[in-house]
């Protein structure tokens, strides 16, 4: 009996991601996997083999990331629709709103199921006027209702949409896959080390400068930053100002991010909830901290803070209050036992509730259900 074929769709290359390759590896156990992607000509820092021996077909069209890519979307939509109509597939799994319209249309024409994965809600990437945001949410909810199932990256997204109009909603957190070699590399540092890795973009309101300011007069503390984006220039200014306290090490592979996380004393995510996506989606940094058994310093008013408080695996602060951030760092630096307890709670939560093996089972169960229906 021939295997069913799943097509994984997102508007960038698989090699630029960590999540879609994980989905592909999980699905490849039972299905043939095809990817349709957009090669925007952006340099990727991540070194991955996206689909092993499976196929990835790509639109090669140089384009920016972010709002300026809107001008190129019609070309991507035409390419995606044409590819979906000419390729053989049984389930379409589309990630994010910028690819949903042609996918739903092709699914209706071919009478094939469509899974809509909302990894990032587009209208919530930046702070928008309420009428514009509401209009965007309504349009998104229309296509949510047309999909056969919806995958969300955080249960907080249900509140973001004030209810998701679909009978099949599956939360699949962006948990890292366990790498035993990395976890065993934990070490004791001479200097209390904070680490952050990710997209260093001002639009995400990361509050990095709050951390830099907070540690300015703290002894025996350093912050290491990895990634790329428009904040690099500002970060390098702090490196010049406090070279013994702030390091910028550039883009890293995901494996190296996990290794650095395991070697650090404290991870932090102080994104401002004024950007709605920060408020409703915890993101991968919390889950990486959990897997590595590290405490996390987080900003109040976010989904990340809700989970940290629920699992007692870190410290919640008001990132706008430099004194509060500073006091939290000093407290954790001075109390290794507290760090160990919080890290242990984090790792236990990962194993019991948030681990990738748990997410894989949810994914495969959803596919099995849809295959029976179709």
Q: What is the pLDDT of residues 42-65, one digit of tens each?
A: 654 444 444 555 689 999 998 877
Give the model's pLDDT for residue 9: 98
pLDDT given for residue 1 in this prediction: 59
Round to whole Å and give the CA distance between 268 and 264: 11
User: How many Å apart are CA 234 and CA 15, to the nearest integer?
Assistant: 28
What one-character-per-residue DSSP string does 128-188 give?
--HHHHHHHHHHHHHHHHHSSEEEES-THHHHHTTS---S-EEE---PPPP-HHHHTT---
| Residue 320: C-alpha distances to residues 88, 273, 282, 299, 358 (Å) | 52, 11, 19, 9, 36
Quickly name the fold that domain 5-175+355-373 has. Answer: Rossmann fold (3.40.50)
DSSP state of 3: P
Encoding tokens for residue 137? 């949410």
| Rounded to 5°, angle at Cα 318 from 315 and 319 | 100
How confident is the model at residue 141, as a pLDDT?
A: 94
CATH number of the domain at 180-354, out of 2.60.120.280, 3.40.50.11290, 3.40.50.2000, 3.40.1280.10? Answer: 3.40.50.2000
**Torsion over CA: 316, 321, 324, 329 (sign):** positive
The 10 Å Cβ neighbour count of residue 337 is 7
SS3 state of residue 300: coil
Structure tokens at 249: 């090490």
Instruction: Name the burial class of residue 365, with classes exposed (0-12), middle (13-18) and buried (19+) by CB atoms within 10 angstroms of its CB.
Output: exposed
- Is the distance from CB of 80 to CB of 103 less than 8 angstroms? yes
Listed in sequence order, the residues at least 6 apart from 153 whose beta carbon sits closer than 8 Å to its beta carbon are 117, 118, 119, 171, 172, 173, 174, 281, 282, 283
Q: Which residues of the chain have pLDDT under 70?
A: 1, 42-54, 66-67, 179-188
**Angstrom distances, CA of residue 326 to CA of 119, 212, 248:** 32, 10, 20
| pLDDT given at position 2 | 78
Closest CA to 296 of 284, 314, 312: 314
What is d(CA 41, CA 305) in angstroms, rounded to the nearest whole number? 36
pLDDT score recorded for residue 50: 47
Distance (Å, whole) CA 120 – CA 136: 13
180-354: same fold as 5-175+355-373?
Answer: yes
The pLDDT of residue 65: 73
Domain ranges of the chain: 5-175+355-373, 180-354
Kindly state the helix (H) or strand (E) to which residue 269 belongs, with its residue range: strand 266-269
């Amino acid at each position: 009996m021939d295997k069913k074929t799943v097509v994984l769709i997102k508007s960038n290359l698989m090699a630029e991601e960590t999540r879609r390759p994980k989905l592909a590896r999980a699905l490849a156990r039972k299905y043939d996997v095809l990817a349709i992607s957009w090669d925007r000509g952006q340099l990727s820092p991540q070194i991955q083999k996206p689909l092993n021996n499976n196929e990835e077909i790509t639109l090669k069209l140089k384009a920016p990331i972010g709002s300026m890519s809107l001008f190129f979307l019609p070309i991507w939509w035409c390419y995606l629709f044409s590819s979906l109509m000419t390729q053989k597939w049984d389930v379409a799994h589309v990630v994010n709103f910028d690819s949903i319209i042609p996918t739903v249309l092709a699914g209706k024409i071919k009478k094939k199921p469509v899974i809509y994965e909302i990894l990032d809600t587009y209208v919530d990437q930046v702070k928008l006027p309420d009428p514009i945001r509401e209009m965007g949410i309504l349009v998104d909810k229309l296509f949510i209702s047309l999909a056969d199932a919806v995958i969300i990256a955080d249960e907080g997204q249900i509140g973001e949409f004030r209810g998701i109009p679909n009978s099949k909603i599956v939360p699949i957190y962006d948990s890292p896959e366990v790498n035993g070699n990395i976890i065993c590399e934990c070490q004791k540092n001479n200097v209390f080390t904070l680490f952050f890795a990710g997209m260093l973009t001002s639009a995400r309101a990361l509050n990095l400068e709050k951390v830099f300011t907070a540690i300015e007069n703290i002894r025996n503390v350093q912050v290491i930053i990895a990634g790329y984006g428009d904040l690099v220039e500002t970060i390098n200014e702090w490196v010049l100002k406090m070279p013994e306290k702030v390091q910028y090490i550039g883009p890293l592979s995901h494996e190296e991010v996990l290794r650095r996380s395991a070697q650090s004393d404290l991870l932090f995510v102080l994104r401002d909830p004024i950007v709605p996506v920060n408020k409703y989606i915890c993101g991968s940094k919390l889950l990486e901290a959990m897997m590595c058994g590290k405490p996390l310093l987080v900003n109040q008013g976010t989904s990340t803070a809700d989970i940290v408080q629920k699992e007692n695996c870190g410290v919640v602060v008001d990132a706008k209050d430099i004194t509060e951030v500073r006091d939290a760092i000093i407290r954790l630096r001075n109390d290794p036992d507290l760090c160990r307890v919080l890290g242990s709670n984090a790792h236990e939560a990962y194993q019991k509730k948030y681990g990738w093996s748990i997410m894989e089972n949810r994914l495969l169960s959803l596919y099995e259900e849809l295959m029976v229906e179709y």
